[in-house]
Structure 1
């Protein structure tokens, strides 16, 4: 399977680069991701649940960042096992290019699948991969997009928080995050 796509991010290149290297942010944005743990220099162990057609499985795998050209590009090599469901392995070349105050992220993925997942057929596998990529980028773009409402609570009719009292803001953030997560699932 090969997949190419570009995504415009409403942030400068350095901000996009830092977000792409923030494992907590990535964990929130990757559909079905349960954990991302360090495993050496520029390497991580992942656990996630994924569904391809009628096959749903928990995958455990490893990804390593190679050819790192900060803040412009890197290659991600990945390998995951899903038990009886099969396996997935491959690489993704990720490139960031500044465009004014924004950044254009371009990626090319080359992947192979085997086991029950491969028996489903390339159309369903490709469709599931595109859906996961679309969901990831919708979540990622929302996560990196500056929220103008956080800096101007009085503009929304909310009273300004007293010095040191930021609980209403945190509560509003949690509510917005939960609502966004539900609407994207």
Structure 2
């Protein structure tokens, strides 16, 4: 699965960069995130529970940051195992560009792969779920970075 897009966030680049690298912010805004712990400057462990169609799975995995160019861009990659439900792995190239003094355009390109029972659901369901989760993430992330309540929708 490949997905790309951009989002306008009403905060300066430095503030958006801090949010993208803050485990507390990310834990609150990643849909289904139960835990996210920083284990090194460029690595975190995570537990996420997701429902994709009829399958609900708990994924335990790692997240790594690479190609760091603060506060302009990085690559975030990860993989998680969901037991009998299968696995998910992927990466996203993220870049931040100022849009005036008080806003940022965040652009992303995602490449992901799933296997196991989840893969049997079909690409249409997986793609639509991924787009829905991305929309939830960006709505909540934008609110959190701007200091608003990031309660899941």
RMSD: 1.2
**Structure 2 equivalent of residue 118 of structure 1:** 119
Question: How many angstroms apart in 2 are the aligned matches of 1:146 and 1:135?
Answer: 17
Asked if residue 84 in structure 1 is aligned to residue 84 in structure 2, the reply is yes
- Asked which structure has the greater RCO (Cα within 8 Å, sep 6+), the reply is 2
- The 3-state SS of whatever aligns with 1:128 is helix
**Structure 2 equivalent of residue 132 of structure 1:** 133
How many pairs does the alignment contain? 152
**Structure 2 equivalent of residue 56 of structure 1:** 56
Could you say which structure has the higher helix fraction? 1
For residues 86-128 of structure 1, give each alpha carbon's deviation from its aligned partner in whole angstroms, at most 9, with x where no partner exists.
0011110010000102100010100010000000000000111
- The 3-state SS of whatever aligns with 1:39 is strand
**Equivalent residues in 2 for 1:138-149, closer than 5 Å:** 138-146=139-147
**Structure 2 equivalent of residue 181 of structure 1:** 151
Runs of 4+ in structure 1 displaced over 3 angstroms?
none
Question: How many angstroms apart in 1 are the aligned matches of 2:143 and 2:103?
Answer: 14
Asked if residue 16 in structure 1 is aligned to residue 8 in structure 2, the reply is no
Could you say which structure has the higher strand fraction? 2
Q: Where in structure 2 are there 5+ consecutive unaligned residues? A: none
